[in-house]
Structure 1
Amino acid sequence: MFEVFKKEVKELLRDKKTLLFVVALPVLIFPILFGLMGFLMSQANLEAEQKVHIYAITGSQYAPEFSEKIKFHKSFKLSKIKYESIEEMKNAVRTGVLDVGIFISSDARASLTQGLQSNWKVVFNDASALSFIYKRVNDAMKSFSEILQAEKFESLGVSKEQSIALLNPIKIEKIDTADKRENIGEKLGAFIPYLLIPLVLAGASYPAIDLGAGEKERGTLETLLLTPVTRTELVLGKFFTVLASSLMTALITVVSMGFWVSIASNFVDAKIITDVMGTIGVLDLSLILLMLVPLAGIFSSLVLAISIYARTFKEAQNYMGPLSMVAFMPLVVAMMPNMELTMNTAMIPITNVALAIKELIKGTVDYSMVAMIFVATFALAGILMGFCVHWFKKESVLFR
């Protein structure tokens, strides 16, 4: 078995595609992609903040304070065209001449005296990238509403303090018992499994395709079967090669991401993330990496069994797509709101590992649950490995 393992590892290391998937992607391409995504998102947010929107307002004389606030807002510029109706504003927004139209009712002040609400209208395209524009207009409207409230309370002889108490009779003081690690870990902990677990699968997929379907296509599988090595030893040698590749991809990714985060922290303010990552102990970090071992065993068994069944390299690749979709579903379940690590979720493959990683990063993990996950995942990995050995021994599978 060890000789088969050495032979397969040497062949994989000679393959430039393997080095690309196992080394180049985690070390260079993934960090570059994530960095580029972050840069583009920050640029998009910056442009959105700096963009000046063309607006039109009808009935500004009824709410001069509101009109002045919008006029001097850095994000708005008054249109030179006058609009007299809602329909005209709608057409202008549809054609892109106008970004937002504001129609102020003539009873902007008088309605409050009668105990009624004044009905204003804001015309904009809520399906476009400008949907956030409503919030800016709404904030200005709230400021004007506060002015009207203050005027009304003053006319009734109510002091400012009394008006605040009347509008908000209960003041809630938030006392958060979660520390910084738990707060950041709740968000970061959901992202890390979403990155690591697919990489474990990706690191196993390509070598498995080459060691199974690739051997068939090249015609070298028959030669291997004629050697004085049992089929069990042969398939286990291939299995441990795929397992090593899977774990190496995840390990290189973790080290690479840590390196690039440390570099990026010198240029951007990532103190909160680095502080949280610094609080993760050696035990927790070791458990995160160890939990990937049986998970990699599950993935390695599945992809190797699929590769052994496939007739050609291309057919094996076609089978990997549905497998990736199936593997993503438990990850999505783990990211659902209020999904926690319990006795039930600890028995769900992939979901249990993702939830355990999140709890380890938060520092709120129940180590008995981690032990249960290890047992369940190792048991499943052992069953699938046994199936893979049995699968390899079937002539109808090898030479279909």
Structure 2
Amino acid sequence: MFEVYKKELKELLRDKKTLMFVVALPVLIFPIIFAVMAFISSQAALEADQKVNTYVIINGEYAQEFTDKVFYHKSFELYKGSKAFNTIEDLKAGVTAGDIDMGIYLPSNAVKTLDGGEQSKWQVVFNDAKSINFLFKRVKELAQEYSDVLQADKLKSFGIEESTHKSILNPIEVVKVDTADKRENLGEKIGGFLPYLLIPLVLMGATYPAIDLGAGEKERGTLETLLLTPITRTELVLGKFITLLTTSIASTTITVVSMGGWVAVALAFADLEFIKTAFSTLAVTDLLMIFVLLLPLAAIFSSLALAISIYARTFKEAQNYMAPLSMGVFFPIIISIMPNMELTAKTAFIPVTNVALAIKDIIKGTVDYTFVGLIFLATALIAGALLAFCVKWFNREDVLFR
């Protein structure tokens, strides 16, 4: 068994493609991809925040103070073209044609309605389909400032002192007292993202080498040679399985270490003190616990990938079979981030979902070690059953020589 393991491991290490998937991707490519994505997102948000938007206000003279606020705001520029805008439909057409970025329609009785005890309805026309858009938020803030002034003036006209305005308008103030610490708050957000990174990497570390160990052997014609060696088929399968388990765990370990190194570099050059404070209590034992939970999961993926590869006739056919497996892994991860999904005695037995929930709780610092034991036991039992199936699968002639 160990001779097969050494032989397969040497062949994988000689394969440049395997080294790229197991080492190069985790160490360099993934961090670069995430860095580029973060840079592009931040640049897009910055450009949207600094963009000067062309606008038109209809009936702006009926709320001159608000009109002036918009005019002098750094994010807005008054339309200076020749087109006339007199109705809501004109504003819609202007935004659609790209002549203006935003139109604001004020009723002609914008201020007088307050004296009659009515609410004035102001309409903001813009394209809300854009991914990042601060237009409505900024206009609403300016309108709220103007509304507060009108509100205060109206209360004063009723003889109500300014010192009592706040208690009348907001008689009850609800204050949030959060019992969660910084690590739990940040872990709730980041902890749900980590399974999306770690679990697919565990799968990828097993699937690509598995294609070569099964279907690749068939195409090269070396499978028959292996079967003629004085070694049982069970030992042959176990040797290949341990090889896949090694590459799967190695890929994940390298990724975690690499990401940790890149994050440390980023924190050294950026002022992210709140992240340092939140995760200062994250112990080495927590990271080891995540690693231990990923071990039986890697065994499950290795068994499935090897069984699929053994069944496939060719390398290409094996690749086609791996695609549904990859899709099937994402669904349990998605379930783990659904609202009100928590690690319980029931969810601890749902494959993949249980590990994803446990990783989130470990990052938050709220994990129940009893559930961790249940997850490890349940995942290990499934891995053992799949490995037994893989051994039986390999012993069938109609599978090996399809």
The normalised TM-score by structure 2 is 0.98
Partner of 2:216: 214
User: In the alignment, is residue 74 of structure 1 matched against residue 74 of structure 2?
Assistant: yes
Partner of 2:276: 274
Deviation at 1:270, TM superposition (A): 2.6
- Judged with a 3 Å threshold, the aligned counterparts in structure 2 of structure 1 residues 12 and 341 are, in CA distance, closer, same or farther, namely same
Q: 2:124 aligns with which of 122, 125, 128?
A: 122
Partner of 1:237: 239
Q: 1:111 aligns with which of 85, 90, 113?
A: 113
Distance in 1 between residues matched to 2:68 and 2:275, nearest whole Å:
42
Distance in 1 between residues matched to 2:210 and 2:383, nearest whole Å:
16
Contact kept in structure 1, 2:48 and 2:134, CA below 8 Å:
no
Which secondary structure does the structure 2 equivalent of 1:176 belong to?
Answer: coil
**Residue by residue, what CA displacement relative to the aligned partner does 1:72-91 show, whole Å, maximum 9, x if unpaired?**
11100000144222222111
Q: How does 1:26-37 map to 2 (within 5 A)?
A: 26-37=26-37
Distance in 1 between residues matched to 2:132 and 2:385, nearest whole Å:
54
Partner of 1:60: 60
Deviation at 1:130, TM superposition (A): 5.9
Distance in 2 between residues matched to 1:146 and 1:355, nearest whole Å:
46
Partner of 1:319: 321
Contact kept in structure 1, 2:12 and 2:209, CA below 8 Å:
yes
Partner of 2:248: 246
**Residue by residue, what CA displacement relative to the aligned partner does 1:197-247 show, whole Å, maximum 9, x if unpaired?**
000000001110000000001110000000000000000000000000000
Distance in 2 between residues matched to 1:130 and 1:124, nearest whole Å:
13
Partner of 1:204: 206
Deviation at 1:260, TM superposition (A): 0.6
Distance in 1 between residues matched to 2:25 and 2:49, nearest whole Å:
34
**Residue by residue, what CA displacement relative to the aligned partner does 1:57-77 show, whole Å, maximum 9, x if unpaired?**
111111111111101111000
Deviation at 1:129, TM superposition (A): 4.2
**Residue by residue, what CA displacement relative to the aligned partner does 1:295-348 show, whole Å, maximum 9, x if unpaired?**
000000000000000000000000111111100000000111221101111010
Partner of 1:145: 147
Distance in 2 between residues matched to 1:151 and 1:109, nearest whole Å:
12
Which secondary structure does the structure 1 equivalent of 2:54 belong to?
Answer: strand
- Name the amino acid aligned to 2:206: A
Contact kept in structure 1, 2:48 and 2:133, CA below 8 Å:
no
Partner of 1:187: 189
Deviation at 1:131, TM superposition (A): 3.9
Contact kept in structure 1, 2:45 and 2:132, CA below 8 Å:
no
Q: Alpha carbon RMSD of aligned pairs, Å?
A: 1.0
Which secondary structure does the structure 2 equivalent of 1:278 belong to?
Answer: coil
**What runs of 5+ residues in structure 1 fail to find an aligned partner?**
none
Partner of 2:22: 22
Distance in 2 between residues matched to 1:193 and 1:170, nearest whole Å:
42
- Name the amino acid aligned to 1:318: N
Partner of 1:256: 258
Partner of 2:100: 98
Which secondary structure does the structure 1 equivalent of 2:279 belong to?
Answer: helix
Deviation at 1:283, TM superposition (A): 1.8
Distance in 2 between residues matched to 1:364 and 1:318, nearest whole Å:
40
Deviation at 1:111, TM superposition (A): 0.7
The normalised TM-score by structure 1 is 0.98
Please, which moves more after superposition, 17-26 or 282-291?
Answer: 282-291
Which secondary structure does the structure 1 equivalent of 2:171 belong to?
Answer: coil
Contact kept in structure 1, 2:49 and 2:134, CA below 8 Å:
no
Q: 2:300 aligns with which of 292, 298, 301?
A: 298
Percentage identity across paired residues of the two chains: 61
Deviation at 1:272, TM superposition (A): 2.3
**Residue by residue, what CA displacement relative to the aligned partner does 1:112-147 show, whole Å, maximum 9, x if unpaired?**
111111122211112134643111111111111111
Distance in 1 between residues matched to 2:392 and 2:161, nearest whole Å:
84
Which secondary structure does the structure 2 equivalent of 1:12 belong to?
Answer: helix
